[in-house]
Amino acid sequence: MQKIICFIMLAMLQFSCDNSPLEKNKLDRLVENIGAEKTEKLLKLIDQADDEKFNISKNDKPYDLDDEKKAAISLLKQILPIKFNDNLIWFDIEANGNTLVYKTEVKGITKEDLLTSENIKNIGKAITEIYCQDNAQMKNVKKYFSEGIEFMLYIEGKKLLILKIPADCKINR
C-alpha cells in the first residue's frame, strides 16, 4: 500500500502543470522516476509545444486555457505508460471537463486489499495533502482543472476505485 501512496504523490509532484523552467533537481527526479529516455522525450515535447504556442500566438490566434490543458495532457500521453515499480503503472491521463483524471494499474495487491476502508482512507489522504498544498504547481493544476482531480485505480484492467478531490479539497469516493 505504501507503494501506491508513493506513486500518487510522485504523479502529482512530477507532472503537475508548472510554467517555470525545469530546475536541475526536478530533472534529476524525473530521470530517477521515469527514466532518462522518457525524460528526454518529455523535454523535447515541451520544447515543441512551446514552439507551437509561439507560432499560434504569432498568427494572432488567441491561445486559451483549453489549449493549455489539451497540450499538457497530450504531452503526458506521449510518454505513458510509466512503470514506477512492479506494482504501479500510470497508463493514462485525461480531462473530464475541468477535472484532471489519472488512471493507474495496480499490480501485486488484491482487490480486497485495495478496497479496505483503511487503504482507501490512506490513499485519499495522500492525494488530498498534495493537491491541497498552497504552492505554484498546485495553483497551476487548479487553474487548469478548476473542478479538481480524480484518481482511478485499476486491477487487471478493471476499474475498482475512483477517488475525487474537488477544488475545495474535500475527498469524495
Amino acid at 37: E
**Predicted TM-score (pTM) of this structure:** 0.74
Higher model confidence: residue 3 or residue 65? 65
Higher model confidence: residue 168 or residue 1? 168
| SS3 category, 167 | coil
Does residue 104 have a pLDDT over 60?
Answer: yes
SS (HEC) of 14-81: HHCCCCCCCCHHHHHHHHHHHCHHHHHHHHHHHHHHHHHHHHHHHCCCCCCHHHHHHHHHHHHHCCCC
- The pLDDT score that the predictor gives to residue 156 is 93
- The pLDDT score that the predictor gives to residue 141 is 78
**Best CA proximity match to 71, nearest among 148, 146, 144, 142:** 144
Label residue 5 by pLDDT band (50, 70, 90): very low
Angle made by CA atoms 155, 88, 27, in degrees to the nearest 5 = 150
All structural domains of the chain, each given as residue ranges with its CATH number in brackets, are 2-165 (3.30.300.250)
Most confident of 19-28, 43-52, 155-164: 155-164
Question: How many beta carbons lie within 10 A of that of residue 30, not counting itself?
Answer: 20
